[in-house]
């Protein structure tokens, strides 16, 4: 799923709706941005599940990765190693990712991102922490790279 494109199209649809204009073409564009539908459904499910958990509020975005790492550990979702952080985004490695850890010993390989369920979960956690919108994406899956972790990036939305 091309989440950045999807967000852009959704923003344009919102302003068209507010101005009383049509959104037909944008709606079709957003279906294309969704791409692999299963991936989008898993992201949605992860996001819905994540919304049910209680997480602490974090006022400084620079502290989000540390709090996220604690929450992931506490909820038995794996172990986090933070690789990048800024006021706009965070990147990290997730060891013991639930979606793929049982597939690794079976030698199953993925062509592309596999753990969109976790991405949705993480996005929901960060949205609750920061009280603002965000999106998360798996950059590299353990099933692609053979490394013992999946890599994720979270981008914080300003508006």
Least distance in angstroms from the C-beta of 110 to Zn ion:
7
In terms of CB distance, is 9 or 117 closer to Zn ion? 117
Closest CA to 113 of 83, 77, 139, 80: 139
Q: Compute the distance between CA of residue 159 and CA of residue 111 in angstroms, rounded to an integer.
A: 34
Least distance in angstroms from the C-beta of 150 to Zn ion:
3
Q: Given the rule CB under 5 A, which residues bind Zn ion?
A: 97, 100, 114-115, 141, 150
In terms of CB distance, is 26 or 97 closer to Zn ion? 97
Rounded alpha-carbon distances, angstroms, from residue 131 to 47, 64, 127, 145: 15, 12, 5, 33
- Which tokens is 127 given? 């949205």
In terms of CB distance, is 26 or 136 closer to Zn ion? 136
Least distance in angstroms from the C-beta of 9 to Zn ion:
26
In terms of CB distance, is 55 or 141 closer to Zn ion? 141
Least distance in angstroms from the C-beta of 2 to Zn ion:
18
Q: Compute the distance between CA of residue 28 and CA of residue 123 in angstroms, rounded to an integer.
A: 25
Please, are residues 47 and 120 in contact by the beta-carbon 8 Å criterion? Answer: yes
């Amino acid at each position: 799923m091309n989440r950045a494109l999807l967000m852009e199209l959704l923003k344009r649809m919102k302003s068209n709706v507010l101005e009383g204009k049509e959104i037909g073409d944008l709606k079709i564009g957003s279906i294309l941005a969704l791409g692999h539908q299963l991936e989008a459904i898993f992201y949605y499910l992860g996001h819905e599940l994540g919304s049910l958990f209680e997480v602490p509020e974090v006022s400084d975005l620079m502290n989000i990765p540390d709090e996220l790492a604690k929450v992931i550990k506490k909820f038995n979702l794996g172990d986090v190693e933070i690789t990048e952080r800024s006021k706009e985004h965070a990147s990290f490695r997730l060891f013991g990712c639930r979606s793929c850890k049982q597939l690794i010993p079976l030698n199953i390989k993925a062509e592309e991102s596999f753990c969109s369920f976790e991405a949705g979960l993480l996005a929901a956690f960060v949205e609750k922490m920061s009280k603002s919108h965000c999106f998360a994406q798996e950059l590299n899956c353990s099933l692609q790279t053979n490394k013992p972790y999946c890599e994720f990036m979270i981008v914080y939305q300003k508006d």
